[in-house]
A and B are shown apart, each in its own frame.
Chain A
Amino acid sequence: MNLWFVLAVNSITLGGLLFLLSAGFSLIFGLMKIPNLTHGSFFMLGAYLATSLLARGLGFWTAAVVSGLLVAALGGLIERLILRRLPGAELAQVLVTLGLSFMIADVCLKVWTGDPIRIDTPDGLRGASSMLGLRFPTYRLAISLIAMVFAAVLWALLDRTRLGAMIRAGVDDPEMARVAGIHVSRLFTIVFCLGAWLAGFAGVIGGPILSVYPGLDQEMLPLALVVVILGGSGSLLGSLVGSFVVGFLYNFGQAMFPELAYVVLFLPMLLVLVVRPQGLFGRQAM
Chain B
Amino acid sequence: MKTFALAIAVVILAVLPLWVGGTYYINVASQILLYAIFALGVNVLVGYAGLVTLGHAGLFGIAAYTAARMLSRDHGHVAAIAGALALTLLAAVIFAALSLRGTGLGFVMITVALGQIVWGIAYRWISITNGDNGISIAGRPSPLGVSLASPAAFYWATLTLFLLAVASMVIFVASPFGTSVRGTRDQPRRMNALGYHVWLTRFLAFLFSAFWSGVAGLLFLYYNQFVSPQMVALTASAEVLLMVISGGTGTLLGPIVGAALVVIMKNVASAYIERWNFVLGAIFVAIVIFMPEGLVPGTARLARWLRTAQRPAAPTPVAAPAPGSERGR
A→B interface (CB under 8 Å): 29, 33, 35, 37, 82, 85-86, 88-92, 94-96, 98-103, 105-107, 109-110, 218, 221-222, 225-226, 228-229, 258-263, 265-266, 269-270, 273-274, 277, 285-286
Question: In the complex, are the beta carbons of A262 and B285 less than 8 A apart?
Answer: no
Contact partner, A92, options B110, B117, B120, B322, Cβ 8 Å = B322
Question: Do A259 and B127 touch (CB < 8 A)?
Answer: yes
Residue in B closest to A96 when the chains form the complex, CB atoms? B288
Q: Which residues of B contact A222 (CB under 8 A)?
A: 112-113, 116
Instruction: List, in ascending order, chain A residues with CB within 8 A of B284's CB.
Output: 95-96, 98-99, 102
B174 to chain A, nearest CB (A): 25
A180, B40: Cα distance in complex, Å:
46
Contact B109 A260 (CB under 8 A): no
**Residues of B contacting A85 with CB < 8 Å?**
289
Contact A225 to B52, CB < 8 A, known contacts A90-B105, A103-B285, A274-B98? no
The proximity string for B residues 94-119 relative to A, scoring 1 for CB distances below 8 Å and 0 otherwise, is 00001001111110111011101100
Interface contact A266-B105, CB-CB below 8 Å: no
Q: Does B126 contact A (CB under 8 A)?
A: yes
**Is B148 an interface position by the 8 A CB rule?**
no
Q: Does B91 contact A (CB under 8 A)?
A: no
Within 8 Å of chain A (Cβ to Cβ): is B282?
A: yes
A226 touches B113 (CB 8 A): yes
| Contacting residue for B117 out of A99, A221, A266, CB 8 A | A266
B46, B109, B282, B289: the one contacting A229 at CB < 8 Å is: B109
Give the nearest-CB partner of B325 in chain A: A89
Q: What are 28 A-B contacts with C-beta separation under 8 Å?
A: A35-B108, A90-B104, A91-B46, A91-B245, A92-B288, A92-B292, A94-B105, A95-B245, A95-B288, A99-B280, A99-B288, A105-B277, A106-B281, A107-B278, A218-B233, A221-B112, A222-B116, A259-B124, A259-B125, A261-B124, A262-B116, A262-B117, A262-B123, A263-B125, A273-B110, A277-B101, A277-B102, A286-B104
In the assembled complex, the Cα of A85 lies from the Cα of B322 at a distance in Å of 13
Chain A residues with Cβ under 8 A from B245's Cβ?
A: 91, 95
- With CB as the reference atom, state the residue of chain A lying closest to B233: A218
| B23-31, B76-84, B218-226, B234-242 - interface stretch | B234-242
In the complex, B87 has a CB within 8 A of chain A = no
Measured between C-beta atoms, what is the minimum distance from B252 to chain A in Å? 19
**Contact B323–A260 (Cβ < 8 Å):** no
Interface contact B282-A103, CB-CB below 8 Å: yes
Are A91 and B323 interface neighbours, CB within 8 A?
Answer: yes
**Is A286 a contact of B109 with CB atoms below 8 Å?**
yes
CA distance A106 to B102 in the complex (A): 32
Task: For the complex, give the distance between the alpha carbons of A148 and B283 in Å.
Answer: 40
The reply to whether B106 and A89 contact each other, CB–CB distance below 8 Å, is no
Q: Which residues of B contact A260 (CB under 8 A)?
A: 121, 124-125
Whether the pair B116, A92 counts as a contact (CB closer than 8 A) is no
B19 to chain A, nearest CB (A): 36
From the candidates B112, B277, B325, name the one contacting A106 in the complex (CB within 8 A).
B277
Closest 4 CB pairs of A and B: A286-B106, A99-B284, A91-B324, A262-B120
Q: Is B287 an interface residue (CB 8 A)?
A: yes
Q: Is the CB of B110 within 8 A of A100?
A: no
A interface: dominant SS = helix
Could you say which residues of chain A place their CB within 8 Å of the CB of B46? 91
Give the residue name and chain of the A residue nearest to B106 (CB): A286
Name the B residues within 8 Å of A225 (CB-CB): 109, 112-113
Instruction: Verify A109–B275 contact, CB threshold 8 A.
Output: yes
User: Would you give the shortest CB distance from A97 to chain B, in whole angstroms?
Assistant: 9
Known: A266-B120, A269-B113. 13 other contacts (CB 8 A): A35-B109, A90-B327, A98-B54, A102-B284, A103-B281, A106-B277, A218-B234, A228-B109, A259-B126, A259-B127, A262-B120, A273-B98, A277-B102
* B-chain residues with CB within 8 Å of residue A94 when the two chains form the complex: 52, 54, 105, 108
Please report the C-alpha to C-alpha distance between residue A226 and residue B245 in the assembled complex, in whole angstroms.
Answer: 26
Q: Is the pair B285, A99 in contact by a Cβ cutoff of 8 Å?
A: yes
Q: Which of chain B's residues have a CB closer than 8 A to the CB of A266?
A: 113-114, 116-117, 120
Q: Which residue of A lies closest to B286 (CB)?
A: A99
B52-74 residues at the A interface, CB under 8 angstroms: 52, 54
User: Per a CB cutoff under 8 Å, which of B109, B242, B289 touches A82?
Assistant: B289
Interface residues of B in 271-307 (CB under 8 A from A): 275, 277-278, 280-285, 287-289, 292
The residue in chain B whose Cβ has the minimal distance to the Cβ of A261 is: B124
> Closest residue of chain B to A275, judged by CB?
B101
Distance A218 CA – B288 CA, assembled complex (angstroms): 22
Q: How far is the CB of A239 from chain B (nearest CB, A)?
A: 14
Which chain A residue shows the least CB distance to B94?
A: A270
Assembly CA distance A228 to B245 (angstroms)? 27
Let me know if A229 and B287 touch, CB within 8 A. Answer: no
User: Which residues of A have CB within 8 Å of B110?
Assistant: 229, 273, 286
B104, B234, B242, most chain A CB atoms within 10 A? B234
Distance of A67 Cα from B103 Cα, bound (Å): 36
Q: How far is the CA of A89 from the CA of B245 in the complex (A)?
A: 14
B287 partner residues in chain A, CB cutoff 8 A: 95
Q: Contact between A102 and B124 (Cβ–Cβ < 8 Å)?
A: no
- Least distance between B167 CB and chain A CB atoms (Å): 28
Q: CB distance B52 to A91 under 8 Å?
A: yes
